[in-house]
């Protein structure tokens, strides 16, 4: 096993006091000044009016990317916007952020118990359609589209990457994996930065049963989810992953069910290094 920091291009494992990392690393449109919307935006999809918050840095001429940031169960896009402070990162680096709202404050992430799952809501289709609209409206490079999310939002982010790897170049799920029965056969490699606390009382680090909004489900452990992504991305023991992708597990020893203070900036740095 090789030891390496995240900035070193190799596969390996690094244990520090605060976190442990398992990594596999490798080596436009017309400009406009966009106004910041005051009210939630609306998008008709699947016979429903779906809503989302959108942050566009003031005076931005050409966004360097788009991040879709998904809330956890029981929350809203506006809650996620406030709790992650992702707007400040967008302002500093010149990208736009969309915060969609899930049906019944949750997502059809494939685990089964949520109301959107039960109703057959096509959240993969909705979010993909939203990305298509924003890429067209703001002239975002399609290879610079990314997704992050917390808890149920993180489960949804993993599902998005599994099913629409053609849309998302990289993802950064926080405290979420996949249901054990959810398939994952991405059409192309996707870079992944996964963050999990070892003492998470809601989404167990070691997987198994969990009881979330809507009822119980059985989930994949954080290490197993990372192993699945490593396999999907063609990661070996050597330094090269397919298509220059990276799969990273940031393990927070003793961490609970929270969005870490550095997760927003860290995820953007990861995204910026792993566009297509």
CATH number, domain at 34? 3.40.50.1820
Look up the domain containing 34 and give its range: 11-273
Q: Is 174 exposed, middle or buried (0-12, 13-18, 19+ CB in 10 A)?
A: buried
Inter-residue contact 263 to 196 (CB < 8 Å): no
Inter-residue contact 108 to 116 (CB < 8 Å): yes
pLDDT at residue 1, rounded to an integer: 27
**Is 39 a member of any domain?**
yes
pLDDT reading at 28 higher than 70: no
Q: Residue 221 region, left (φ>0) first, then alpha (ψ -120 to 50), else beta?
A: beta
Q: What is the pTM of this model?
A: 0.87
Instruction: For tokens 């990273």, name the residue.
Output: 248
**Is 101 a member of any domain?**
yes
pLDDT at residue 3, rounded to an integer: 23
At CA 77, angle to CA 76 and CA 79, rounded to 5?
Answer: 65
Nearest to 240 by CA among 24, 93, 89: 24
User: How many domains does the structure of the chain reveal?
Assistant: 1
**Is 227 a member of any domain?**
yes
**Is 2 a member of any domain?**
no
**Is 41 a member of any domain?**
yes
**Is 1 a member of any domain?**
no
Beta bridge pairs of residue 70: 149
Nearest to 96 by CA among 141, 127, 51, 128: 141
**Is 5 a member of any domain?**
no
pLDDT at residue 95, rounded to an integer: 98
pLDDT at residue 236, rounded to an integer: 80
**Is 6 a member of any domain?**
no
| DSSP assignment letter at 35 | P
Q: For the chain, state the CA radius of gyration.
A: 17
pLDDT digits (tens, 9 = 90+) for 59-82: 999 999 999 999 999 999 999 999
pLDDT digits (tens, 9 = 90+) for 184-229: 999 999 999 999 999 999 999 999 999 988 899 999 999 999 999 9
């Amino acid at each position: 096993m090789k030891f390496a920091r995240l900035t070193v291009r190799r596969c390996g494992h690094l244990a520090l006091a605060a976190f442990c990392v398992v990594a596999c690393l490798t080596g436009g449109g017309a400009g406009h000044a966009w106004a910041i919307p005051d009210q939630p935006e609306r998008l008709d999809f699947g016979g429903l009016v779906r809503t989302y918050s959108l942050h566009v840095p003031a005076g931005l001429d050409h966004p360097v990317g788009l991040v879709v940031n998904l809330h956890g169960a029981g929350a809203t896009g506006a809650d996620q916007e406030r709790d992650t402070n992702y707007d400040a990162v967008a302002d500093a680096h010149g990208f736009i952020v969309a915060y969609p709202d899930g049906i019944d404050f949750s997502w059809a992430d494939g685990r089964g118990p949520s109301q959107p799952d039960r109703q057959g809501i096509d959240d993969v289709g909705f979010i993909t359609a939203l990305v298509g609209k924003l890429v067209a409206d703001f002239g975002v490079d399609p290879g610079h589209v990314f997704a992050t999310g917390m808890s149920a939002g993180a489960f949804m982010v993993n599902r998005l990457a599994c099913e629409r790897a053609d849309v998302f170049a990289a993802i950064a799920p926080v405290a979420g994996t996949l249901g054990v029965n959810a398939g994952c056969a991405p059409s192309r490699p996707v870079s992944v930065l996964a963050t999990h606390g070892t003492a998470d009382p809601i989404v167990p680090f070691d997987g198994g049963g969990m009881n979330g909004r809507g009822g119980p489900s059985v989930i994949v452990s954080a290490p197993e989810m990372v192993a699945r992504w490593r396999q999907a991305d063609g990661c070996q023991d050597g330094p090269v992953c397919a298509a220059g992708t990276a799969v990273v597990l940031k393990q927070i020893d003793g961490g609970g069910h929270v969005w870490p203070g550095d997760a927003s900036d860290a995820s953007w740095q990861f995204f910026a290094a792993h566009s297509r």
